[in-house]
Structure 1
Amino acid sequence: MDRINQHTAPVYEALMEFRKRRVVPFDVPGHKRGRGNPELLEFLGEKCVGVDVNSMKMLDNLGHPVSVIREAEELTADAFGADHAFFMVNGTTSAVQAMVLATIRDGDEILLPRNVHKSVINALVLCGGIPVYVPVRVNHDIGIATGMALSDIEQAIREHPKAKAIFVNNPTYYGIASDLAGIVKLAHRAGMKVLADEAHGTHLYFGENLPVSGMAAGADLAAVSMHKSGGSLTQSSIMLCGPGVDAEYVRQIINLTQTTSASYLLISSLDLSRRNLALHGETAFRRVSSMAEYARSEINDLGGYYAYGRELVDGESVFDFDVTKLSVYTQGIGLTGIEVYDLLRDEYDIQIEFGDIGNVLAYISIGDRIQDIERLVGALEDIARRFAKEKRQLYVGEFIAPERVCTPKEAFYADGEQLPLAEAAGRISGEILMCYPPGIPILTPGERITKEILEYIEYSREKGCSLQGTKDPECRMIRVLRNGLAER
């Protein structure tokens, strides 16, 4: 099939034509090209505020595109090797939720790893789906969850043959990739769809020697965070459809929750970023991989730290590794990841992606420079010299397998009561509770709260992790189901 000419950017070009016309606005937004909000105009500039406009004929409509947005989406599908692509302006969260809502209905089972983003669980609250967790293995040396082994998925399919879909992280926040192509074969043989969360995998579509992308592996749907490694504005994302997917039904699902006032700043950033990646992505991500591998080598030479990479690959739960992810285990210098994260920010003015109990993640992408890498390595060396503690076996945590008593939807909407966390052992959670980032739930609605879970929550709090998700902003109270409601 002939490829489409990727040099064009139809939404961006339509906005530039719109600017030339000097259209008098008697529509929204009310700032009227910034004239009504001088401080905003000064802050963002006339070029930016001047294209913060409403849908109109020459600019198309995201909810029902027929011209420039549709053309831009077709270009995106071609660039990513998909049958269809949708621009998403409510973040990859909305793309993940749309994948689930388009596939799972009330009472349907979905196979998924425990280390999914909270958006997946929230989608199950909305649709009434039933999560079936495939065992997630833990690398005990660095304290991270890995991927799903094919043998574990085969067993899950045998035990839950009526499940409608399998949800896969491709890759995880830490760069771990499961055997997505193998999962697709197993799932399709069992009549199940495959949903790929590629929030951290835009570059897989354009890089070399990286894990396979969702569309190349044959996944049915993929949610891709263009703003993370693809260069578009924050909150902009895309959703991809493989062969045999009813794309117009998917658009109907998207329109259930996506805004009808889509930002043309976000839409045009997706359009321009797609063009940049289609034309220059291979070269750009070759450079990104090279920088990340250089940083990994330099950090490992410091001693104490462990910047892990392809040596983790075991062909099972770590089928492949995304070398652009600069994940570093820090407990070898006696500090947790969150402590190193805070030191980098407060002492060295370096903002990395996140720190958890055992690790930090520096996100390397197309906007990074080698001098920035050198500064990060130098700061880590200085931290080890100034702040290292006596090396000790710090708790890194087992990946706690939850007991699901009822569905997320049942628990979320059930009558409940607020209890101090310390008094909640044995009760059923009516809320989600997680460390953010990366936003992986410790508890989800419908799960039994155990002493082990409570100990992990308090350890995370003590080490400075941000606990989120409960009605109580301090996460010291939790809503639990009234006794008897879920016991059946």
Structure 2
Amino acid sequence: MGNSTYALDQNRAPIHEALEQFRRIRVVPFDVPGHKRGRGNPELTAFLGHQCVGVDVNSMKPLDNLCHPVSVIREAEQLAADAFGAAQAFLMVGGTTSAVQSMVLTACKRGDEIILPRNVHRSVINALVLCGAVPVYINPEVDTRLGISLGMKREQVAKAIAEHPRAVAVLVNNPTYYGICSDLREIVRMVHAAGMLCLVDEAHGTHFYFGENFPVSAMAAGADMAAVSMHKSGGSLTQSSFLLTGPNVHAGYVRQIINLAQTTSGSYLLMSSLDISRRNLALRGRKVFEQVRLLAEYARSEINLIGGYDAFGQELVDGDAIYAFDPTKLSIHTRDIGLAGIEVYDILRDDYDIQIEFGDIGNILAYLSIGDRVQEVERLVSALAEIRRRFQRDPSGMLSQEYIDPEVVATPQEAFYAEKVSLPLRETEGRICSEFVMCYPPGIPILAPGEKITREILNYIEYAKAKGCSMTGPEDPNIEQLNVLQ
């Protein structure tokens, strides 16, 4: 521990304080970055402001070092661990992607089995490409009316653990992009009873740590590691995140894993944003997230009065595959008005200047968080009412299924690095894919390396492309060719 006066006082923001002190003493910079507090790049300074570029600085003794923190960064991590109820917190400047990958790489090495739902973010499968671990997928149940994949059932997890007793870890989404949670406490109990680690992708669950009216957080449920997207609902700058660990994880080893890939030039803009945002949530998070919850409930009730839309929520909860629902998630089913979610997404942006988080083939997600106000929600509600009036059409013939069970033939690493050939999309049926295909956001692969390409999957890709989904992943930017195993 550095200066003990910082000890767990959530009013402090040690990185922010050190940067303010550094700004005051006006050190002459003969170090990087080369813009030298903005003087060397006046256009950048004009755009971002002196306040910002003046603290875009390099690691130095007074400011600590992200790779091996011993003072202000270490203190910021301890305050974050305290605020989130974790044994250890790590500041991540490579987004929640790097936090998720660090979890998987900590738990798994080449050949190890890891149990996970298939509707994971691509960062999880990317980690399997890097380390050579073997995925054991639990295919989530699907709500066929909404076309969305659900959580993991307790019996599915128990069955996977029984059938794969040598697996090293189980990974859980808490919540999914749509706000759906599995029975995390019971899953943690089963996983620990089997001697495995429980890893939690909590990219969309930062607020679970700050309020009584939310599903259980990973750390409160006793999970071993959790990746928390502070920049999503927590208010920090884009690309900043926390990796949380429980008491039975070796923090020194986790740090080594993080340092394999994370930059040695940690951004003080990102780190100070984590520090200040953690302080804000520790001091005011319960109050602000309760306001977000109430705003989302209001939005749901208003949207459901329009007719044709289904702003779904707590009524879905069944105590198993939908064990709990995140009440801040404003997910809206659009297919009953004859429009794909991505079509409503495009109309909202192009005609109404409203940018929502994403649209897929059946739903849209309006992301509500600490910066939203009731007047913006009312603008969204009135726009949706007008879209229904202007664009509603017969929904027959629309695709409904968001999630298609994959057939896994090879590990992600084997398939990604294998000899491959590029074929036109329709000629790939029956072949083994060697790359990713996904709509982004949410970044959940339709196809991942090592999976068999079926006609159903090809139909889905072509339908999503035609409706205007932003498709990413393949080498071919137009997604007319796919790489398959030779």
1:411 to 403, 406, 415: 415
2:366 counterpart letter in structure 1: A
What SS does structure 2 have at the residue aligned with 1:361? Answer: strand
Number of paired residues? 480
Is 1:23 the counterpart of 2:38? The answer is: no
1:149-174 CA deviation, whole Å, 9 max, x = no partner?
A: 00111111111111110010000000
What SS does structure 1 have at the residue aligned with 2:38? Answer: coil
Q: Distance in 1 between matches of 2:421 and 2:142?
A: 34
2:361 to 357, 364, 376: 357
Q: Distance in 2 between matches of 1:207 and 1:361?
A: 22
Is 1:14 the counterpart of 2:23? The answer is: no
2:76 counterpart letter in structure 1: A
Normalised TM-score (structure 1): 0.97
Q: Aligned Cα RMSD in Å?
A: 0.9
What SS does structure 1 have at the residue aligned with 2:430? Answer: coil
Q: Distance in 2 between matches of 1:289 and 1:413?
A: 45
In the alignment, structure 2 segments of 5+ residues that lack a partner are 1-6
2:207 to 181, 203, 209: 203
1:36-91 CA deviation, whole Å, 9 max, x = no partner?
A: 01111111100001000000010000000000000000000000000000000000
Q: Distance in 2 between matches of 1:438 and 1:159?
A: 30
2:452 is matched with 448
Contact 1:218 1:242 in 2 (8 A): yes
1:413-442 CA deviation, whole Å, 9 max, x = no partner?
A: 111111111101111111111111100011
Q: Distance in 2 between matches of 1:281 and 1:316?
A: 28
What SS does structure 2 have at the residue aligned with 1:216? Answer: coil
Q: Distance in 2 between matches of 1:244 and 1:316?
A: 27
1:200 counterpart letter in structure 2: H
Contact 1:137 1:399 in 2 (8 A): no
1:344 is matched with 348
Q: Distance in 2 between matches of 1:398 and 1:471?
A: 23
Once the two structures are superposed, the pairs formed by residues 77-116 of structure 1 within 5 Å of their partners are 77-116=81-120
Q: Distance in 2 between matches of 1:66 and 1:22?
A: 23
1:218-268 CA deviation, whole Å, 9 max, x = no partner?
A: 110000000000000000000000111000100000000000111000000
Residue 324 of structure 1, CA deviation: 0.2
The structure 1 segments of at least 4 consecutive aligned residues displaced by more than 6 Å after TM superposition are none
2:375 is matched with 371
2:144 counterpart letter in structure 1: H
What SS does structure 1 have at the residue aligned with 2:114? Answer: strand
Q: Distance in 2 between matches of 1:339 and 1:405?
A: 34
2:445 counterpart letter in structure 1: P
1:377-420 CA deviation, whole Å, 9 max, x = no partner?
A: 01111111111113436211163211111111111111111111
Q: Distance in 2 between matches of 1:305 and 1:44?
A: 41
2:172 is matched with 168
2:478 counterpart letter in structure 1: E
1:50 to 44, 49, 54: 54
2:294 to 290, 296, 311: 290
1:422 to 422, 426, 443: 426
Q: Distance in 1 between matches of 2:261 and 2:394?
A: 51
Q: Distance in 2 between matches of 1:268 and 1:407?
A: 39
1:460 counterpart letter in structure 2: A
What SS does structure 2 have at the residue aligned with 1:217? Answer: coil
Is 1:242 the counterpart of 2:243? The answer is: no
Identity, in percent, stands at 67
Residue 208 of structure 1, CA deviation: 2.2
Q: Distance in 2 between matches of 1:142 and 1:480?
A: 31
Q: Distance in 1 between matches of 2:377 and 2:436?
A: 36
2:283 is matched with 279
Residue 450 of structure 1, CA deviation: 1.1
Q: Distance in 1 between matches of 2:297 and 2:427?
A: 47
